[in-house]
Amino acid sequence: MHGMKESGATTAAIARELGVTLKARRTTALFTQPEWVRQWFTEHPEIEVLYWPAYSPDLNPIENCWGNIVNSWDPAQERTPLQLLQHTMTEWERFRRNDGIIYKIVGSVSDRLHEVIAHDGGWTHY
């Protein structure tokens, strides 16, 4: 934990020096955050905290990548932990090689945000 605090403080110091405002995303589900994290953000008001709706994990683009990996998994074919790991790594590499998928997912964030706002912070169709 100590290293994480130090790297965060260094990042905050560099941002101050450059005149850049840092933004951090945090869920509103406080039970998921250690006390030292909450304290650290209290001690660094120069970092703008963006609170994420507790019921909207679908705003995180990586969830789409993981969802696609899970949906492409065939339990009848990949039955052992090693086979599942190999499947996951193969699919992940497929994502990395296909910029179009990543751009499409990241490009949908604005639409996702608008839909979450329209649903008062609730689930979306994504």
Region 15-34: what's the mean pLDDT? 67
Please give the share of the chain, as a percent, with pLDDT higher than 70. 76
Angle between helices 35-43 and 2-18 (to 10 degrees): 20
Give the CA distances from residue 4 to residues 8, 9, 28, 33, 45, in Å, rounded to whole numbers and listed in that order: 6, 9, 21, 14, 18
Q: Which residue has the higher pLDDT, 61 or 12?
A: 61
pLDDT tens across 38-93, in order?
888 888 888 887 776 666 556 778 878 888 888 998 989 988 999 999 999 999 89
Q: Across the chain, what does the average pLDDT equal?
A: 78
DSSP code, position 46: T
Domain spans of the chain, in order of start: 2-52, 58-118
CA–CA distance, 121 with 126 (Å, rounded to integer) = 13
In 3-state terms, what secondary structure has residue 108? coil
CA–CA distance, 122 with 93 (Å, rounded to integer) = 32
How many other C-beta atoms can be found within 10 angstroms of the C-beta atom of residue 15? 15
